[in-house]
Amino acid sequence: MIEIARQYNSTHNSDISLMLGWVYYFDIMARFTIRHWRTEQVEAAAKTLGFNSQGEKSCVIQYILARDSFAKGVPDLAAHSNSTVQLLAEVSDIAIYSSEPRYATADYQRHLDDLRLKLEAEVISDSDMIHTTKSDSTFHDQNILRVVCLAALIYLERVSRNFSGQSAKLDLWTNQGFSILTKLDSCLCPFPLFILGCEANKDEDRIVILNLYSRMENQPYLRSVMESRSLIQTAWNQQDLAHEGTLEYIHKLNLVISSRDLLPSFI
């Protein structure tokens, strides 16, 4: 159906473009979770503890189908999405492990630098818009886009460098992210909540996250992101139980995302 849809010369604001943008978003978020799902290291830990590391039968089938589907990719859908989603797609495709052939190549490192610069530019441009707009809805939307970019920067910095400690850059992005979250009544995009939640190691930062979820709970139609709260709480448990500095960032994400019997959904 998507192949047929792509044959039509759709304009950016058309219904078909909107639907293809939606497909693209589903695809990116699924790719993000599947890359951290039941890695070999996690599977080994699960087996040791007596868990069925494969999950449900239906999940195994879905996983195989998804792997097959993602191996092919869904080309040409990026044009139906906004620039922030396109950058998120690139971030969701960065190499996780040094064993990947591209990991140490100069071209790939340049690509990462470019990606970082684009995300930083996006944060700054959104920030400019926030100061110039008077519309509440634009203010909210731009804040969401900004917090998505900040979360993408944090993920990029940590994963691309396999870095689990603290740095001035990470502190800046994290503080900016929390500062935005305090202003929001809702954030229906689970990705930035999850990434920023994983950075919240101090009580005051965790309170920012929990307060935002409390505000969302008070709104009857905003219950979609509660699974991400549960994931964040799992991350906090992992963090609190680990000896200081011993829990690697990538391993933490792998454990948290693998802690559900089915792939968590960030849609």
Partner 1 sequence: MIYTDRARLGRTLVRIALSNRSKSSGAVYHAMAALASYHRGHSEIEVDQLKHAALQNLHPGDNLDLYDVVEHIAANLLLCVVEVCKTHAENPIYSFNTDAADSCKELMLDQLYLWCETDDRDSETI
Binding mask 225-244 for partner 1 (x = CB under 8 A): xxx-xx--xx--xx--x---
Kindly report the three-state secondary structure assignment for every residue of 62-100.
Answer: HHHHHHHHHHHCCCCCHHHCCHHHHHHHHHCCCCCCCCC
Q: Supply 134's token pair.
A: 């008077």
> Residue 126 in 3-state DSSP?
helix
Separation between Cα atoms, residue 266 and residue 262, nearest integer Å: 12
CB 108 to partner 1: min, Å? 26
Residue 99, amino acid: S
Residue (of 61, 102, 76, 97) closest to 250 by Cα position: 97
Residue 6 · residue 76 · CB < 8 Å? yes
Fill in the per-residue mask, 245 to 264: x = in contact with partner 1 (CB under 8 A), - = not in contact.
----------x--xxxxx-x
Query: What amino acid occupies position 77?
Result: L
The least distance separating partner 1 from the CB of residue 14, rounded to whole angstroms, comes to: 8
Q: How far apart are CA 82 and CA 89, in angstroms?
A: 11
The count of chain residues that interact with partner 1, using the rule CB under 8 A, is: 62
- The correct pick among 12, 104, 188, 218 for binding partner 1 (CB under 8 A) is 188
Judged by DSSP in three states, 190 sits in: helix
Choose the binding region for partner 1 from 98-106, 108-116, 153-161, 215-223 (rule: CB under 8 A). 215-223
Nearer to partner 1, 48 or 98 (CB): 48
For 89-187, strand residue ranges (E) read none
Question: Does 267 sit near partner 1 (CB under 8 A)?
Answer: yes
Out of 33, 34, 42, 63, name the contact with partner 1 by CB under 8 A. 42
Interface residue with partner 1 among 68, 107, 136, 203 (CB under 8 A) is 136
Give the Å distances, CA to CA, from 208 to 127, 183, 188: 21, 10, 16
Residue 68 binds to partner 1 (criterion: CB under 8 A) = no
Binding stretches for partner 1 (CB under 8 A): 1-2, 4-5, 8, 15-16, 18-23, 25-26, 42, 45-46, 49, 51, 56, 58, 81-82, 84-85, 88, 135-137, 140-141, 144-145, 148, 188-189, 217, 220-227, 229-230, 233-234, 237-238, 241, 255, 258-262, 264-265, 267
